[in-house]
Amino acid sequence: MPDSLNSGFTVPLLLRGQVIDEATVEFGGRRGGISFRTPDLSKHLNELTLSAPSRMADLYSISLDEIFDFLAALGKRLHPADNPYLQQSFELSRATSGLSDSILRHHYNGIPSFFERDVVRDIAERLIGIDYLEGWVEQPETIKRNTRLSIRAMGARAVHIIAGNVPVVGVTTVIRNAITRSDAIIKTPSNDPLTTAAVVRTMIDMAPDHPITRHVSVAYWKGGDEQIEQHLYDPRRVEKIIAWGGFAGIKHLTQYLQPGLDLITLDPKHSSTIIGREAFTDEGTLDSVAKRLALDVGVLNQEGCVNARVVYVQSGTDTDGLERANELGKRMFAALQSLPDHLSTPHKAFDPELKAELDALAFVEDEFRLYGGRRNEGAVIVSQSDSAVDFARMLACRVANIVPIDDVDTAVRSVNSYTQTIGIFPESLKTELRDRLAFQGAQRLVSLGGAATLMRTPQPQDGIEPLRRSVKWITDESADGAYLTAMAEQR
Amino acid sequence: MSDFVENLKRDPLSFVEAHYNEGFTLRGEERDAIQLAGLRKRFAELRSALPALAKLADDQGIDAINTIDDAAPLLFPHTVYKSYPLSFIEKCQFDKLTKWLSRLTTVDVSGVDTTGIQTIDEWIARVEESTDINLIHTFGTTGKLSFLPRTKTQTRLSARLNAHTIRDFNGYNSGPDVLARHPPLISPSYRHGASAIIRGMNRMAIDYAGGYDNALFLYPDAYFSADVISLAGRLRAAEARGEAGKVSLAPALLARRDEFAARESNRAQDMDRFFEQAANRFGGKDVYLFAVWPILFEWAEEGLKRGMKGIFGPNSVLSSGGGSKGKVLPPDFKETIFEFLGFRRHYEMFGMSELMTNAPRCEHNRFHFSPVLVPYVLDPVTGQPLPRHGHQTGRLALMDLLPDSYWGGLVSGDEVTMGGFDDTCPCGRTGPYIEANVRRFSEAQGGDDKINCAGAPEAHDKAMEFLVGRI
């Protein structure tokens, strides 16, 4: 660990184009035994929030094309090789993130691509509609011929409580805020307090007075700080709260909810896998299934909510069936060990509680077969009955549990509203099950292997459309004056 | 002195009948010799008899113990005594649970007939009827209980050793000999159950008090149910995940609801009766009292409210511990308790259900380990033992050398600071001690996976409400 880490990092307050780095308050990071200092946010609360909504006007003095250009120019400055802010945040993330250096580097190198003009334009078009962002869109005539309706998507004043498991969360928050012409106060997480700040700081260097810059702030405060949160979560100052986060954090937020304040939650989720009996058709198929499963478990080092944890396999539960499941487990563990470094590595901070659970499996050998799990290399637990391990909720650090089943119904019934992604093999099974899985609560169905590698096309998230919800949908209805007058005169 | 050392080297159990205080006068090399001999003895006796230990030793490639640190990789993870799948209980597969237990003890449990068993309480009773084991269960927030295969003999020895701790901790015969004096036993808790404390109290009612006639329990008829405390854990876990209401109840447990409800309705009367008997039958007498601080405080406040104080004799003894976690006690809580009780003599212990003997606290606020407990401090990340010198902070692990039918080595979930390897506590006792700043590792990460002794009755009550209120 470099000395600069030991002496403590400063996480500046980025306030509407201003950099405030007189840091006086100290906090601990979530991992790595490091701490960081920030300015005392309570002294800047009035500048942080936008109490006069009229101050949103400047965002409407520029066109969406200008916003795309602005973001594209920003993206060009976000190459880690020559951006000192990103270099510093990378150093801090190395200590606080659950991702290994090689994976972090891969994600950092990918940051500029998020800002490319076509990519941003595609998001705006697919997730909201450029015409709605840019102006009032007159709706097709309806059966009520005397009225006309126009709709526009308007920005809102929002607090974003972002997750720190992968750096891209903060990056997309900045982009989403810009294209929706919103005003963002971004609360950064203690396990990645600097990445978002690095992006916004670069923006400040580039154009401190640009409306987009003036409408994004980045701050750290400890979740639960009443003085700060009471000020912020007030419908006079903020209209939306967009919260990624743990159950306790979101539950805590709900105490501030009142009419006029909209909470959009991207809750913690668990993802799983359903593999049909076709996986065992022949050697080649089984190998490919094992590799694709290794991707769903291993990519992002299983730090994402998209990653597979419990894996239902229709191998059968008789002796032959268990043997098939064990064979898949063995091959999948081997595939996990061979994943390329930029996608997955042994976990740098293997959870000791999970390790204790894995160690204890040696005492129930009849019930569970364990591949790996000796150090931090990851593991595959193959249940020798159709029950998952009792600690399924703790599965992380590249540890998966294969559960053999006779009938896919067992897997379908395990899905609930806390299930996000389900990787499925073969495709025909996905088509067959997709309506039922959706009823059960699943939110994203992917081809096996795609859980953490797809998401290429902008799409809904966690069963909602967060972008459509983060804007305000304003309507303008017109009617002929004579038609309205006639109503008053009706007898 | 050397007899004491030689006896301990030959058999750690000789400590039970020795002068307890001598355990804290050993020189470092004497203690090391005793502990190394004890580790070797237990490893030699138990390796071939316990499949669980054999497997661990094979995996670690350990055939011999030449230093105390050599045994560190053989300490069981704290998850071992709850390593059975919960489905065994949910699907009433108590035959499988018994088979699982057989890997952890040298006592033959193959004769346990599990036919018809539907609840954990029934299983615990069946094991007790048909073998020498009286199982001890712990409490966990996940609802999964640890089951420790302690024998009836071990429970008795454990109570004797506790008596000798009281007698000798501050010097040989400095405290009352509760085994000889037979003081009345007072327990502001459940009479029936299989937690370590309840098992101990029942043994003490016989061995200390001379029988149940000379003992007073707050709930003399109620059973501290393993099934209910397991439900409590599952409820807490479900609540933490926002899934409360989804917890399903076993039919066998639902069937016992009326029985539980009847007991619950007696609560207020139980409390009245307890205070009435404490004052009228045992008032002014020298008693033996065992309870954790928060429960004592609750009891003392209630008693003082009723105008009762100074109720017991001046030579009474209180054993306590369990911390105050989860409850905020006022800074002078001990004074309130002593005012109510009428005496101050107390022994505060650091202990775990898994240990046969506890570590008493000295006047310098340190908990001292007797030579039959081999303490380790492990690096929290690598699990490697930290050097046995100076002061070390990390994960506490212990090898209890007393049990001869199960493996006493266990890695705890506690973060501790340990000293005493090469310094002597100002109290004059030699040997390893831990500072009072013990905390759960999971606490440091913002959560806790364990309902401790102080929180258990409350969790039990809460689950009972859920159970009784459920139609």
> Is there a single domain that holds both residue B276 and residue B211?
yes
Distance, CA of A444 to CA of A421 (rounded, Å): 5
For A255-280, what is the HEC assignment?
HHCCCCCEEEEECCCEEEEEECHHHH
A356 in contact with B at a CB cutoff of 8 Å?
Answer: yes
Nearest residue of chain A to residue B51 (CA atoms): A363
A25 CA to chain B: closest CA distance, Å? 20
β-strand pairing of B215-224 with B185-193: parallel
- Cβ contact, residue pair A360, B82, below 8 Å: yes
B85 in contact with A at a CB cutoff of 8 Å?
Answer: yes
- The whole-model pTM stands at 0.81
Nearest residue of chain A to residue B237 (CA atoms): A393
Nearest residue of chain A to residue B246 (CA atoms): A416
- Chain B, residues 253-272, CB within 8 A of chain A, namely none
| A356 contacts on B by Cβ (under 8 Å) | 77-79, 411
CB atoms within 10 A of CB A224: 11
Q: Which of B102, B130, B148 is the last residue of a domain?
A: B148
Nearest to B80 among A363, A365, A389 (CB): A363
Distance, CA of B412 to CA of B367 (rounded, Å): 16
B35: containing domain: 2-41+362-435
> Is there a single domain that holds both residue B348 and residue B374?
no
Nearest to B79 among A248, A359, A367 (CB): A359
Give A217-251 pLDDT, tens digit per residue: 999 888 778 888 889 899 899 999 998 876 677 77
| B102 contacts on A by Cβ (under 8 Å) | none
Q: What is the pLDDT at residue B461? A: 63
Say what the ipTM of the complex is.
0.77
- Lowest average pLDDT, out of A468-477, B25-34, B253-262, B359-368, goes to B253-262
Nearest residue of chain A to residue B86 (CA atoms): A390
B314 in contact with A at a CB cutoff of 8 Å?
Answer: no
The answer to whether position B325 is within a domain reads yes
| A190 contacts on B by Cβ (under 8 Å) | none
B161 CA to chain A: closest CA distance, Å? 31
- Is the pLDDT confidence value at B448 over 50? no
Q: Look up the CATH superfamily of A270-447.
A: Aldehyde Dehydrogenase; Chain A, domain 2 (3.40.309.10)
Nearest residue of chain A to residue B100 (CA atoms): A364
Nearest to B83 among A247, A361, A387 (CB): A361
The mean pLDDT of chain A is: 89
Nearest to A352 among B55, B100, B380 (CB): B380
| Partner residues linked to B187 by β-bridges | B217
- Lowest average pLDDT, out of A282-286, B81-85, B106-110, goes to B81-85
Q: Is A404 helix (H, G, I), strand (E, B) or coil?
A: strand
- Cβ contact, residue pair A385, B87, below 8 Å: yes
Q: Is B11 helix (H, G, I), strand (E, B) or coil?
A: coil
> Is there a single domain that holds both residue B207 and residue B289?
yes
Q: Map tokens 């129930």 to a residue.
A: A364
| A385 contacts on B by Cβ (under 8 Å) | 87
Residue of higher predicted confidence among B86 and A314: A314
| A357 contacts on B by Cβ (under 8 Å) | 77, 79
* Residues listed for chain B: 471
Distance, CA of A93 to CA of A106 (rounded, Å): 13
Distance, CA of A484 to CA of A148 (rounded, Å): 13
Query: Residue B401 half-sphere exposure, CB side, CA atoms within 13 Å?
Result: 29
**Which own/partner contact pairs does B47-51 have at CB distance under 8 Å and 24+ positions apart?**
B49/B106, B50/B103, B50/B104, B50/B105, B50/B106, B50/B406, B50/B407, B51/B103
Nearest residue of chain A to residue B52 (CA atoms): A363
A1 in contact with B at a CB cutoff of 8 Å?
Answer: no
A349 CA to chain B: closest CA distance, Å? 8
Give B309-341 pLDDT, tens digit per residue: 999 999 999 998 765 555 678 888 899 999 999
Both structure tokens of A483: 């038609």
The answer to whether the CB of A336 falls within 8 A of the CB of A298 is yes
| Partner residues linked to B376 by β-bridges | B397
Query: Which of A359, A375, A403, A416 is the best substitution to test chain B (most B C-beta atoms within 10 A)?
Result: A359
- Cβ contact, residue pair B59, A362, below 8 Å: yes
* Angstrom distances, CA of residue B287 to CA of B209, B275, B302, B341, B464: 9, 14, 19, 10, 31
Specify the CATH number of the domain A3-267+462-476. Answer: 3.40.605.10
A247 in contact with B at a CB cutoff of 8 Å?
Answer: yes
The answer to whether position B124 is within a domain reads yes
Give the residue-averaged pLDDT of B93-111: 94
Residues 6+ apart with CB under 8 A from B101: B109, B127, B147, B149
Distance, CA of A269 to CA of B241 (rounded, Å): 11
B273 CA to chain A: closest CA distance, Å? 42
Give B397-441 pLDDT, tens digit per residue: 999 999 999 999 999 888 999 999 999 999 999 999 999 888 877
- Cβ contact, residue pair B383, A393, below 8 Å: no
Nearest residue of chain A to residue B411 (CA atoms): A356
State the count of interchain CB pairs (< 8 A) between A and B.
61
A303 in contact with B at a CB cutoff of 8 Å?
Answer: no
pLDDT grade for B237, boundaries at 50, 70 and 90:
low
The answer to whether position B8 is within a domain reads yes
- Cβ contact, residue pair A360, B383, below 8 Å: no
The number of angstroms, rounded, from the C-alpha of A462 to the middle of its chain's C-alpha atoms is 9
Q: In angstroms, how far is the first alpha carbon of chain B from the final one?
A: 65
B394 CA to chain A: closest CA distance, Å? 13
| B411 contacts on A by Cβ (under 8 Å) | 356
- Lowest average pLDDT, out of A89-93, A380-384, A452-456, B353-357, goes to A452-456
Query: What is the domain partition of chain A in residue ranges?
Result: 3-267+462-476, 270-447
Q: For chain A, what percentages of helix, strand and coil (3-state, to nearest 5) are there?
A: 45, 20, 35
**With the C-alpha atoms ordered A385, A389, A393, A396, is the resulting torsion angle positive or negative?**
negative
B253 CA to chain A: closest CA distance, Å? 21
B100 CA to chain A: closest CA distance, Å? 7
Give B297-313 pLDDT, tens digit per residue: 888 998 999 899 999 99
Question: Which H or E run contains A46?
Answer: helix A45-48
The answer to whether the CB of B402 falls within 8 A of the CB of B419 is no
B103 in contact with A at a CB cutoff of 8 Å?
Answer: yes
| A360 contacts on B by Cβ (under 8 Å) | 77, 79-80, 82-83
- Lowest average pLDDT, out of A153-167, A173-187, B24-38, goes to A153-167
Number of structural domains found in chain B: 3
Distance, CA of A379 to CA of A381 (rounded, Å): 6
Residue of higher predicted confidence among A419 and A381: A381
- Cβ contact, residue pair B383, A352, below 8 Å: yes
Single-letter residue type at A80: P
Distance, CA of A477 to CA of A191 (rounded, Å): 47
Q: Which of B97, B119, B148 is the last residue of a domain?
A: B148
The answer to whether position B67 is within a domain reads no
Residue of higher predicted confidence among A145 and B379: B379
- Cβ contact, residue pair A390, B144, below 8 Å: yes
> Is there a single domain that holds both residue B170 and residue B279?
yes
- Cβ contact, residue pair B381, A352, below 8 Å: yes
Single-letter residue type at A404: P
- Chain B, residues 401-420, CB within 8 A of chain A, namely 411
A27 in contact with B at a CB cutoff of 8 Å?
Answer: no
The answer to whether position B321 is within a domain reads yes
pLDDT grade for A1, boundaries at 50, 70 and 90:
very low
The answer to whether position B347 is within a domain reads yes
Using only C-alpha atoms, chain B has a radius of gyration, in whole angstroms, of: 22
- Cβ contact, residue pair B411, A364, below 8 Å: no
Nearest residue of chain B to residue A367 (CA atoms): B85
- Cβ contact, residue pair A360, B100, below 8 Å: no
Residue of higher predicted confidence among B266 and A302: A302
Nearest to A360 among B59, B79, B449 (CB): B79
| B449 contacts on A by Cβ (under 8 Å) | 353
- Lowest average pLDDT, out of A4-18, A96-110, B60-74, B191-205, goes to A4-18
Question: E strands along A55-162, which residues?
Answer: 137-138, 147-154, 157-161
> Is there a single domain that holds both residue B18 and residue B109?
no
B449 CA to chain A: closest CA distance, Å? 10
A305: left (phi over 0), alpha (psi -120 to 50) or beta: alpha
